[in-house]
Chain A
Amino acid sequence: MSEKKQTEHDKFLAPENRKHTVIGPDGEEIQVDPLNDYFCTDLPKVEAPYKGVLEKFLNWARAESLWVLSYGTGCGSIELPPLFSPRFDAYRFGVAMRPTPRQSGVLIISGYLAVKTLKRVIRSYEQMQNPKYVIALGSCTINGGMYWDSYNTINRLDHYLPVDVYIAGCMPRPEAILAGFNKLKERIKSGNAEGANEYIEKLEWYKANQKKIIKDWNMPSYNW
């Protein structure tokens, strides 16, 4: 990165992420560039699926244990809590909620995404471990829905993240979300849910789209 571009970039960085000098225990001065020194700068690699029966077995295991990140954007996050109540009982399908991206395999985008939220969503998605899947709820993630001409909400989620299953509706009821989970299971078992690898293969295109609308990109290029 050229020097000029670096200073433009620095404008959005939090103070602790800018280049600065740290004084060590023996009084020596150490130059620190946090984005390169504290974060991993390597890009991810495609994890090719296994072949034959082994992959089929793994896909069956993955499909029967979907761990969902407890994260909601927009109005759809209200539809998710009833899913885990006795009436709808998503646990019988092997669906469970997890509190952190590191432990979860499914990211539900539940409704409209403001640009500010999209930044957090990208961070969460990239911190999740493979294999990972994305479910998009509601018409807002498909074409913008009722916010199609808003200055601050995105129109098409599939330009920023690879989406496995769309659930249409405004908002879809918990029954529809359960049907969506079953659809996702079918997709995983058939071996088509390779969203995580698709994201890595087309990483340049996704990153260009993301950086086009997130104008204050103040994090590493890929958030491990």
Chain B
Amino acid sequence: MNELIDHIKARFPIYDVIESQPGQIFVSLEASKLIPMITSLKTNHGFTVLVIFTAVDWIEDDKFQITYVLNNPKEKQDLGIRVFIHRDDATMESIHHLWKHAATFQRELKEMFGIDFPGSPGVDDPFLLEGWDNIPPMRRDFDTKKYSEETYFPRPGRETNDPATFMKQTLYPDD
């Protein structure tokens, strides 16, 4: 695994190499270098399986992190690649030409995070949220509790009989 990392390091500007467990390494990379790197990993190094492909919202840094986890079934190795893109014009290159099922992940990310993947098949079709007209729900500035209370007729809760509150009201009614 270390040989592989050295080999990649010589060709691509990766940083933050973390071995989270034996046989599983996460690296970070510039977004523009992603396509050449995973194409090389798929064709030359046996990372033929796209395991998962998801996003994290780092709202404090104004960034989205997209994580691609690739698997090498022969060597039993996992390699996670993280790229960071800006939150405002969240656009990323599509990888559906390498793995067909990536189009489904991309469709989900478009709907849940608002990250666009131009050219990906069916990326604008609704996936789970039909007719959604708010900001994408997995963005951290979306207030799901407020939205639910405004939309879904919440059932009012029971009257509380909390002893502490009751005694406080009985003994110190002026407070």
What is the interface of chain A, defined by CB distance below 8 A to chain B? 12, 114-116, 119, 142-144, 148-156, 159, 209, 212-216
Contacts and interface: CB of A to CB of B under 8 A. Distances in A.
Contacts of B154: 143-144, 148, 155-156
A151 B155 contact: no
Contacts of B155: 142-144, 155-156
B132 interface: yes
A213 B144 CA distance: 15
Given A142-B155, A152-B137, 12 more contacts: A119-B130, A144-B155, A149-B148, A150-B144, A150-B148, A153-B152, A155-B154, A156-B153, A156-B154, A159-B153, A215-B132, A216-B130
A152 B145 CA distance: 11
B129 interface: yes
Contacts of A148: 148, 154
Interface in B126-171: 126, 128-133, 137, 142, 144-145, 147-149, 151-155
Given A148-B148, A149-B144, A116 B153 contact: no
Q: Label chain A's interface by main secondary structure.
A: loop
Given A151-B142, A152-B137, A212 B130 contact: no
Interface of B: 126, 128-133, 137, 142, 144-145, 147-149, 151-155
Contacts of A214: 130-131
Query: Which of A149, A154, A159, A216 has the largest count of B CB atoms less than 10 A from its CB?
Result: A149
Nearest to B149: A149
A151 B148 contact: yes
A155 B131 contact: no
Contacts of B128: 114, 116, 152
B152 to A, nearest CB: 4
Nearest to B146: A149
A12 B131 contact: yes
B43 to A, nearest CB: 39
A152 B126 CA distance: 14
B111 to A, nearest CB: 11
Given A149-B144, A149-B145, A154 B132 contact: no
B137 to A, nearest CB: 5
Contact of B152 (A116, A142, A144, A216): A144
6 contacts: A115-B129, A116-B129, A119-B130, A148-B154, A155-B154, A215-B130
Contacts of A143: 154-155
A144 B129 CA distance: 18
Contacts of A12: 131
Contact of A155 (B129, B137, B142, B152): B152
Contact of A215 (B133, B137, B145, B147): B133
A152 B134 CA distance: 12
Given A12-B131, A116-B128, A119-B130, A151 B153 contact: no
Given A144-B155, A159-B153, A152 B129 contact: yes
B152 A213 contact: yes
Query: Which of A119, A142, A151 has the largest count of B CB atoms less than 10 A from its CB?
Result: A151
Contacts of B129: 115-116, 152
